[in-house]
C-alpha cells in the first residue's frame, strides 16, 4: 500500500465525518432548544402550583412574580408581601419569556385573585411553549 492511498483514505473519512456533522448539528440544536424550553415550562408550571397550594395551605393570598431572571413566590401577611420560594427564571435555560401579566395572585381558596388570567410564552430557537392560567386557578400547557 502506498503512502498516497492512506492519505486518500484519510481525506475520504474526514469528508464523510464533516457530512455527518452537517446533518446532525441542526437536529441536535432543535433537540437542545426543545429540552431548554420544556425545562423552563416545567419550572413555571411547578412554581404556579406551589403558589396556589401555598395560598390554600396558609389561608392567605399568595402570588408568583414571573420574570426572565427569576420566579418569586410571595405570601401576603396582611400588611405586605413576604418572600417565599424562589426559582431561577427561563433565562437560566437560555429561553426568552413573554408574559401578559407577570404577577399571578391566588386567593386563600386557590382561585385566582384579581387579574389572574395570564399567558406565558417561552421561546428558544424554533421551539415555543405556551402556558395559560385561568381565573379559577387552572394551569394549562400548550
CATH code of residue 137? 3.55.40.10
What is the three-class DSSP state of 99?
strand
Q: Which residues contact 45 (CB under 8 A, 6 or more apart)?
A: 131, 139, 141
C-alpha span between 86 and 93 (Å, rounded):
16
pLDDT value for 4: 64
Could you give the number of structural domains in the chain?
A: 1
pLDDT at 28: 80
- Domain that includes residue 121, residue range: 3-141
pLDDT given for residue 142 in this prediction: 86
Q: What is the pLDDT of residue 85?
A: 93
Helix or strand or coil: residue 115?
coil
What cell does 135 get? Answer: 381565573
At residue 11, the pLDDT reads 87
Cβ(120)–Cβ(44) below 8 Å? yes
What's this model's pTM, rounded to 2 decimal places?
0.82
Residues of the chain with pLDDT under 50: none
Amino acid at each position: 500500500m502506498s503512502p498516497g492511498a492512506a492519505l486518500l483514505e484519510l481525506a475520504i473519512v474526514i469528508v464523510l465525518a464533516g457530512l455527518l456533522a452537517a446533518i446532525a448539528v441542526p437536529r441536535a440544536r432543535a433537540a437542545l432548544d426543545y429540552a431548554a424550553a420544556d425545562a423552563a415550562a416545567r419550572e413555571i408550571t411547578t412554581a404556579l402550583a406551589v403558589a396556589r397550594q401555598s395560598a390554600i395551605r396558609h389561608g392567605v393570598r399568595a402570588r408568583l412574580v414571573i420574570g426572565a431572571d427569576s420566579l418569586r413566590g410571595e405570601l401576603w401577611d396582611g400588611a405586605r408581601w413576604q418572600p417565599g420560594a424562589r426559582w431561577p427564571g427561563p433565562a437560566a435555560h437560555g429561553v426568552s419569556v413573554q408574559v401578559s401579566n407577570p404577577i399571578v395572585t391566588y386567593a386563600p381558596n386557590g382561585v385566582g385573585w384579581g387579574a389572574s388570567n395570564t399567558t406565558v410564552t417561552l421561546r428558544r430557537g424554533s421551539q415555543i411553549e405556551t402556558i395559560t392560567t385561568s381565573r379559577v386557578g387552572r394551569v394549562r400547557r400548550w
